[in-house]
Amino acid sequence: MTDWLTGQVSGAEVVVSERRIGDLAGVFADAEAFARLPADRVVYRTECILGVPPGTVGGLFWGTTFIEPGTVGDEYFMTKGHIHAKPDRMEAYFTFCGAGLLLLMDAERHCRAERMTPGSTHLIPAFTAHRTVNIGEDVFSFGACWPSDAGHAYQAIADAGFAARVVRSQGAPRVVPNESTVCRH
């Protein structure tokens, strides 16, 4: 079962996973602000139905991600982001509640952002890295459906980051170039 208002996924087969501040070293730009947050603070949680083994060709997975409201310095709480290990695999995202941004980056590191509002439906193209950002004051939740053989290549993002970051500027979200990437590369 999926609750269309909250995104909650229920049933015996649901697998819950959490990402806490302590799991997200290197993700946010402001290392000092990051160090001041408790390591056990939850940034996001997933509730998934993974009915076939990962890597199964032709299969589909289903799940909801809940991102807590908050910032690290001026940077909004967000997911680690990934590109698929099989990069031609698409993914469908669909928003349940809250306010988010979907940050997309193509193979040439060009970034663009799509607003995620309740009901918004996003078919993420192949060869496109994707990360979600909670730009609201409440929990932001969205569902996902993706091929079970897509896999997640987190390392590419961990190494090079996205070319853009989403920061709170005078109370509103702003997409800015990722200076730390510019410096490192």
Q: Which CB, 61 or 76, lies closer to its own copies?
A: 61
Q: Which CB, 23 or 114, lies closer to its own copies?
A: 114
Q: Which CB, 20 or 152, lies closer to its own copies?
A: 152
Residues 63/91, Cβ–Cβ less than 8 Å: no
Output the smallest distance, CB 94 to its own copies, in A.
Answer: 6
Compute the half-sphere exposure of residue 130: CA atoms within 13 Å on the CB side of its CA: 24
Output the smallest distance, CB 80 to its own copies, in A.
Answer: 22
Measured distance CA(140)–CA(173) in Å, rounded: 14
Q: Which CB, 144 or 166, lies closer to its own copies?
A: 144
Output the smallest distance, CB 89 to its own copies, in A.
Answer: 4
Contacting residues toward its own copies, per CB under 8 A = 1-5, 9, 11, 49, 51-52, 57-60, 62, 86, 88-92, 94, 96, 118-121, 123, 125-126, 145-148, 150
Q: Ramachandran region of residue 24, left (φ > 0), alpha (ψ -120 to 50) or beta?
A: alpha
Output the smallest distance, CB 158 to its own copies, in A.
Answer: 23
**Taking every pair of C-alpha atoms in the chain, what is the biggest distance, in angstroms?**
47
What is the 8-class DSSP label of residue 98? S
3-state secondary structure of 112: strand
Output the smallest distance, CB 145 to its own copies, in A.
Answer: 4
Q: Is residue 134 classed exposed, middle or buried when 0-12, 13-18 and 19+ CB atoms within 10 A define those classes?
A: buried
Q: Which CB, 69 or 118, lies closer to its own copies?
A: 118
